[in-house]
Structure 1
């Protein structure tokens, strides 16, 4: 919440360069994330697979930040590539709990940030579409499902060789870096 970019969403004072950079980085990230989520779903026992997906396109939510067409020309940044490499490496382990914990910080942080911004009145401000997407029932349901799935997998987990807490913490550090780097 304290990063300059999130504060800029709150105040409505984001530079065009920051919005373009953020939307470009997220555009590179989201497609890859969705592919990893699909792989993770296949790792889950059928009884834990999410039945209802988020119905709106997340890329549309980011367009609510009003990027210019220039964002299409911005390459993925090293911090973005490092985050995706961590997610790739973790999902490739084939352990559903590890995969869920790697992906969870992204899903959760957006939901939490949007809730705080909505409480601060941003839901009616300049970036209301962005906030509305993440506080919406469909997105919040995805966050709830993620945590419920992690809880069930934790009860069933038998791997003593995977550092689950480390995977989650590393993903959250990457997520924080993503937000810190967004203020370009």
Structure 2
């Protein structure tokens, strides 16, 4: 298992697509970050696309604020939104600036098909569904990067040039925010589907949201390797 816990609902979602989750969190791209073998060109390609992804992800979290029904949900969503826009994207800007790629170039980069598919799927989940549909679609990215960062902080090769990336997601502040987010998701799902939500008629639909988003994460890594 991951060695971290982000709540009961996430544990259920992850177990519900165990093979796909492994393909995502143990992908060759991730292994390359950990052992340092990932080509620099692939990493920069990924960072550019991930910056564009985060722009749309921020839109999705803004939609989550609109869909929120409690103060706890609102605070959790605005907290993630702040972390995305004011902190996580800074890593991309700083790294790419060292390579001569400025923030305007990042913001206006052409989206790859895998990026379009993933970001628009998440937004559609929120527009078509309710708050937990959106949470299920957003969760693989948030919790998955937390799990990967936590693991690589302990397993990565000492000389990997991608220590800054690992540190971003292994950082205590990020890990703490994921624990808080997981508690919020547990409460939000129980509030809407009952104390045993996996018994609710809607559970299969919500699980499918999570599974599909996880599949799209695998595709995003594949895109990064396509240099």
TM-score category of the 2 structures, normalised to the smaller one: 0.7 to 0.9
Show the counterpart of 2:125.
90
Whole-Å Cα distance in 2 between the matches of residues 117 and 65 of structure 1? 19
1:134 maps to which of 138, 147, 169? 169
Whole-Å Cα distance in 1 between the matches of residues 94 and 147 of structure 2? 18
3-state secondary structure, aligned to 2:128: coil
Give the CA deviation at 1:105: 0.4
TM-score norm. by structure 2 comes to 0.71
- Kindly tell me the number of residue pairs found equivalent between the two proteins: 184
Give the CA deviation at 1:116: 1.1
**What aligned pairs does 1:1-184 form with structure 2 within 5 A after superposition?**
1-48=25-72, 49-50=74-75, 52=79, 53-54=82-83, 57-62=87-92, 68-69=99-100, 72=106, 75-93=110-128, 95-122=130-157, 125-158=160-193, 160=201, 163-184=205-226
The answer to whether the 8 Å contact 1:80/1:178 transfers is yes
Show the counterpart of 2:22.
none
Give the CA deviation at 1:160: 4.8
TM-score norm. by structure 1 comes to 0.86
Give the CA deviation at 1:122: 4.9
Unaligned runs of 5+ residues in structure 1 are none
Give the CA deviation at 1:41: 2.1
The verdict on how the C-alpha distance between 1:94 and 1:60 changes in structure 2, with shifts beyond 3 A counting, is same
Show the counterpart of 2:10.
none
The answer to whether the 8 Å contact 2:137/2:213 transfers is yes
Cα RMSD, aligned residues only: 2.6
The answer to whether the 8 Å contact 1:107/1:143 transfers is yes
Whole-Å Cα distance in 2 between the matches of residues 141 and 111 of structure 1? 10
